[in-house]
Amino acid sequence: MRPFYGRFAWAYDLLVERPVSQECAYVATALTKHGVAAGARVLDAGCGTGRYAAALAGHGYRVTGVDLAPDLVAVARRRGGSARFAVGDLSALPLRAVYGAALCRGVLNDVLDDDVRRAVMRALAGVLTGPGVLVLDVRDWYATVQRKTAEPVHERTVETERGTLIFRSETRLEPATRRLLISERHALVTRSGTESEAYEFVMRCWTRAELDASLRQAGLALVALRGGYDDAVPAGATDRLVAIAARTPGMLRS
């Protein structure tokens, strides 16, 4: 498991800065536009440290966050607020249609196998009821190639209450499989010494065609595709694909 998800889960938000309030305002607006109003139940699938779940709860939604990493869920639970959190596997979600919407940010990049990708997408579709809106983001393979070819190394240093935290990530491309081969190192420098951990893992990017096909196979129709949580950012402008999909009439559940 990535140190981000375990030993260094406490530092995730410090190292991965996101405009959470802005992005959740966009999600809330999109949900309302497609018939999922405040008060509806929302699943945050792969909730991480719970910051998006907490922000969506602030917009009046009843949010449940699920993540496979217990340490991340522990961080999420310490936030307080109305959002609820549980440890769980997205490919094995109970298929009960109780959520008006689901949010799934970045998680699908960690799913390498085609069959598991289909299983996760069907599981997400299976928990939706009513208009049934899914908002997700994944890495766009072609834009990621451009970015990581130009900038394969990412480094960040932050001062924390525990000491100086140094993070380094290097990405190599595997074009034949659209995979990213990533080497990470976390180091916490304190008065008593340095605590470090290195880790290597693989991500698999998506293409627009693959994403659209996967949604359709799960009984979902793509209604919007952007390059960020902003209607002014077109798909392809960044290395992210932000998709809004909704249930199609007569979709099958299993």
pTM for this predicted structure: 0.93
Strands 41-45 and 99-105: parallel
* Cα atoms found within 13 Å of the Cα of residue 148, Cβ hemisphere only: 23
Say yes or no to pLDDT of 187 above 90: yes
How many residues in total does the chain contain?
Answer: 254
Among 183, 199, 226, 246, CA closest to 23: 226
CB atoms within 10 A of CB 42: 28
Question: Residues 86-139: pLDDT tens digits?
Answer: 999 888 777 577 999 999 999 999 999 999 999 999 999 999 998 899 999 999
For the chain, give the mean pLDDT.
93
| Residue 73, C-beta contacts closer than 8 angstroms, at least 6 positions apart | 47, 50, 65, 67, 85, 86, 87
Q: Which of 78, 89, 39, 73 is nearest to 59 (CA)?
A: 39
Contact (Cβ atoms closer than 8 angstroms) between residue 85 and residue 110? no
Q: How far is CA 186 from CA 85, 118, 183, in A?
A: 26, 33, 10
Domain ranges of the chain: 3-139+206-247, 143-204
CATH topology of domain 3-139+206-247: Rossmann fold (3.40.50)
Residue 252 has pLDDT above 50, yes or no: no
How large is the average pLDDT for residues 5-25?
94
* Digit-coded pLDDT (tens) for 126-181: 999 988 999 999 999 999 999 999 999 999 999 999 999 999 999 999 999 999 99
- Whole-angstrom distance, CA of residue 133 vs CA of residue 136: 10
Closest among 188, 182, 184, 195 to 166, alpha carbons compared: 188
Helix axes 208-217 and 114-126, enclosed angle (nearest 10): 50
Give the pLDDT score at 251.
44
Q: Note the pLDDT of residue 95.
A: 59
Would you tell me how many other CB atoms lie within 10 Å of the CB of residue 208?
A: 17
Answer whether residue 254 shows pLDDT above 70: no
Coil, strand or helix: which one is 69? coil
The mean per-residue pLDDT over the stretch 61-67 comes to 96
The whole-number pLDDT of residue 25 equals: 98
Cα pseudo-dihedral 210, 106, 87, 103, rounded to 10: -80
Specify the DSSP element, H or E, that contains 13.
helix 12-15
Looking at residue 4, what is its pLDDT? 86
Q: Are 181 and 174 in contact (CB under 8 A)?
A: yes
* pLDDT for position 249: 54
Q: Which CATH class is domain 143-204?
A: mainly beta
